[in-house]
Amino acid sequence: MIEIDFKNILENSTQAVAAVNFDDSIVYANKYFCSLFSMAKEEVESKCLGDFLPKDKDTVQIKDYTYKITKFEDEYYTYFYLSLSDTQMEKIYSDFISTVSHELRTPLTSIRGFADTMLASFDKLDKNQIQKFLNIIKEQSNRLIKLVENLLSVSRSQVEQSNFVYKSINPKIQIEKAMDIIKNQYPSHVFELKCSSDVQNLLADENKFQQIMINLLDNAAKYSYDRGSVTVRVSNSAQKENFVSIKVEDHGVGIDPENMSKIFEKFARIENHLTRKTQGSGLGLYIVKNLIEKMGGQIFVESSTVLPNSGSTFEILLPAASYTNQSKKVLEDK
């Protein structure tokens, strides 16, 4: 098998890497390779290379980018490295700057505009107008803070690999805390938590789990109709032993099938009448997926755009704080 130190190098590589056997079956794929195809590691490693890369070609088109394929062989395996060209990297950088500039400019313009109005006409404004302008400035400031926090989360996720503090946490208590935060932002929405009495604790990083739930709840409320409802269901997973299932259900506009593969990408924003009214950087679900996978979990989504049953359900599976999972985590950290 591949030596564990070599695996660590490949896991932290800036290139997508897959190793195959003599029969082209994949024996290893790093996180970058799996993320390119939005698949779990075990799913990728149950397939053949031909399911992902064209035969006898030195490039492959994945989503909006072209990757160069480099092959390397040793006495055991054949390794395939996928890397972006300098031109593609420039495009990603340009897209990043363009998106962030736009997202920063909008709230800053609002803050400056309403602040200028108050400074120039403070003595002419009544109490209600002052309150309204201050609330707008506060909302736009919070939007800026959230954008910066998301950008920092993306940056940290790309450079830090082992800053997670794992412990046994009660999912019900943590979800209730996240709900209290989101309820204040969406007072017209109804939030409901349904938790099985026998649900196991999670083996997870408490702060990262809070970040996951806040992003999922915020996303569900944001893309729901006015006075909509958001339900969270927590239970032991029926499909995966020693895992906990958490489903976040909304009754919003839903996601078109052709957009399903895009929602976990950086800066992804799906165009419809609800998203045009909402504000966001398109980083929330990217961060959620990244954190879940780093904690050994998975995320799935089901959605419908057909009224009256439109809406989306995001399900996450995270390891339970079972003896088996805790023992496994101790061995991995050694």
Length of the chain, in residues: 334
Q: In this predicted model, what pLDDT tens digit does every residue of 51-78 receive, in sequence order?
A: 999 888 888 888 767 888 999 888 889 9
Q: Are residues 94 and 154 in the same domain?
A: yes
Which of 65, 84, 103 is at the close of a domain? 84
pLDDT at 99 over 80: no
pLDDT of residue 159: 43
Which of 100, 133, 159 is at the close of a domain? 159
Nearest to 270 by CA among 239, 247, 303: 303
pLDDT of residue 322: 76
DSSP string, 83-125: EE-HHHHHHHHHHHHHHHHHHHHHHHHHHHHHHHHHHHHGGG-
Mean predicted confidence (pLDDT) in 197-225: 90
Q: Are residues 91 and 180 in the same domain?
A: no
Q: In this predicted model, what pLDDT tens digit does every residue of 201-214 receive, in sequence order?
A: 999 999 889 989 98
pLDDT of residue 267: 57
From residue 61, give the alpha-carbon distance in Å to each of 64, 83, 112, 301: 7, 11, 43, 25
Domains contained in the chain, number: 3
For the domain that residue 9 is a member of, what is the CATH number? 3.30.450.20
Q: Are residues 100 and 71 in the same domain?
A: no
Cα–Cα distance, 214 to 234 (Å, whole number): 15
Lowest average pLDDT, out of 35-39, 89-93, 146-150, goes to 89-93
Q: Are residues 184 and 329 in the same domain?
A: yes
For the domain that residue 96 is a member of, what is the CATH number? 1.10.287.130
- Domain holding 55, by residue range, is 4-84
Q: Are residues 127 and 30 in the same domain?
A: no
Cα–Cα distance, 119 to 123 (Å, whole number): 9
pLDDT of residue 38: 75
Q: Are residues 96 and 236 in the same domain?
A: no
Q: Are residues 171 and 314 in the same domain?
A: yes
